[in-house]
Structures are given as structure tokens and as C-alpha cells.
């Protein structure tokens, strides 16, 4: 491996870390302005990307217990950010949907960033470069998700803390429940 490719890899690693830090900072501020914690914000993000979802599916996607998700849904419902309703064909299931008001509030906060970023990125890079960037992000996201899944199966050497973005990892018996 040449020193030039090592330099590019090093710069790429630093750029990805800096980008992730900026995303974390943006999410933290967005959560603050929405009046929720970062896990609640991630839940709202999932809800805005789907028409409806069950609490169990949310628990799986967030890496949380169903009990934790129920508590989170209670908070978000109290803020009028989501609704829960019975499943139309399976009375044992509940469907969760984001409210139009929550979507409008989030989009009002995110819209200026998306417009600014979209305009600046489109003027800086051509379509071929953007295809490469999209491929890179998709590919690295798939790698990241595999390692998130791997970490979720591992036992923690210390008792879990409360609050924040922490996922509880494996449940009693060492196997993650959905």
C-alpha cells in the first residue's frame, strides 16, 4: 500500500468521523427543539419514513425492549407526535403512526438544512460523483449495520446505564428478543 493511499484513507477516516460528529450535533439540537431525547427523535425518524409500524417492529429497529418502546410511545403520544390504533385485522397488534403536526414541525426545522445542503452539493459535484458518494454511503451503512447487529448480541461487562441513546444489547439469556 502506498503512502499516498494511506494518506487518502486517513483523510477519509477523519472526514467520516467529523461528518458523524456533525450529524450527532445536529440530531442533538433537533431533539432539543422538538422537546424529546435522541432515542425519541430516532423513533420519529423511523415513523416519518413509514406509513405505520408496530411497537415490536420499532423495538427491533431501535434495539430496545418492548417495555422501553411502550414508555417512549407514551411520551411521544403525550406530545401529540404520534397516534396508536388497533390493527384492522389482528386485535392483538397496535399500529403506530406519526402525526402530521410532528412531521410538519420536524420538516420546518430540517428543511433549511436540506435545501442548503442540496443546493450546495448539486453545484459542487456532477451526477457521476454523486452516484459514487451515494454508493459509498450505502455500502458503508451496510457494513455499519452488520457491526451494530454484532454488537447487539454481545454481553456488556458492566450494568447498563439509563438514559441517552444506549441500546440495551442482549436480553436475559443472552439472546436479543424482537
C-alpha cell at 83: 397516534
Question: Which secondary structure element, helix H or strand E, spans residue 178, and what is its range?
Answer: none
On whether the CB atoms of residues 96 and 86 are closer than 8 A, the answer is no
Dihedral sign (CA 98, 103, 149, 69): negative
pLDDT reported for residue 158 = 79
* pTM of the model as a whole: 0.78
Tell me the domain boundaries of the chain: 11-152
pLDDT reported for residue 93 = 92
pLDDT reported for residue 168 = 45
CATH architecture for the domain at 11-152: Orthogonal Bundle (1.10)
* Plot region of 154 (φ>0 → left; ψ -120 to 50 → alpha; else → beta): beta
Report the C-alpha gap between 18 and 35 in whole angstroms. 26
Q: Which residues contact 61 (CB under 8 A, 6 or more apart)?
A: 46, 53
Mean pLDDT, contiguous 10-residue spans, the chain (178 residues): 71 93 96 97 96 95 94 97 94 94 96 95 96 96 93 83 49 38
User: Reduced to 3 states, what is the DSSP secondary structure of residue 84?
Assistant: strand
On whether the CB atoms of residues 47 and 55 are closer than 8 A, the answer is no
pLDDT reported for residue 86 = 94
Report the C-alpha gap between 39 and 132 in whole angstroms. 31
pLDDT reported for residue 161 = 56
What backbone phi and psi angles, to 5 degrees, belong to 80? 65, 35
C-alpha cell at 73: 410511545
Amino acid at each position: 500500500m502506498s503512502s499516498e493511499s494511506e494518506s487518502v484513507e486517513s483523510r477519509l477516516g477523519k472526514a467520516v468521523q467529523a461528518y458523524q460528529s456533525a450529524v450527532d450535533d445536529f440530531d442533538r439540537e433537533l431533539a432539543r427543539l422538538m422537546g424529546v431525547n435522541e432515542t425519541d427523535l430516532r423513533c420519529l425518524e423511523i415513523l416519518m419514513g413509514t406509513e405505520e409500524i408496530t411497537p415490536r417492529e420499532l423495538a427491533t429497529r431501535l434495539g430496545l425492549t418492548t417495555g422501553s418502546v411502550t414508555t417512549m410511545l407514551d411520551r411521544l403520544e403525550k406530545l401529540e407526535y404520534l397516534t396508536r390504533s388497533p390493527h384492522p385485522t389482528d386485535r392483538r397488534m397496535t399500529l403506530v403512526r406519526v402525526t402530521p403536526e410532528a412531521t410538519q414541525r420536524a420538516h420546518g426545522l430540517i428543511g433549511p438544512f436540506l435545501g442548503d445542503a442540496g443546493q450546495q452539493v448539486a453545484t459542487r459535484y456532477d451526477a457521476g460523483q454523486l452516484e459514487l458518494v451515494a454508493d459509498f454511503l450505502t455500502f458503508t451503512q451496510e457494513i455499519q449495520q452488520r457491526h451494530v447487529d454484532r454488537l447487539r448480541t454481545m454481553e456488556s461487562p458492566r450494568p447498563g446505564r439509563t438514559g441517552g441513546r444506549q441500546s440495551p444489547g442482549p436480553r436475559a439469556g443472552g439472546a436479543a428478543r424482537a
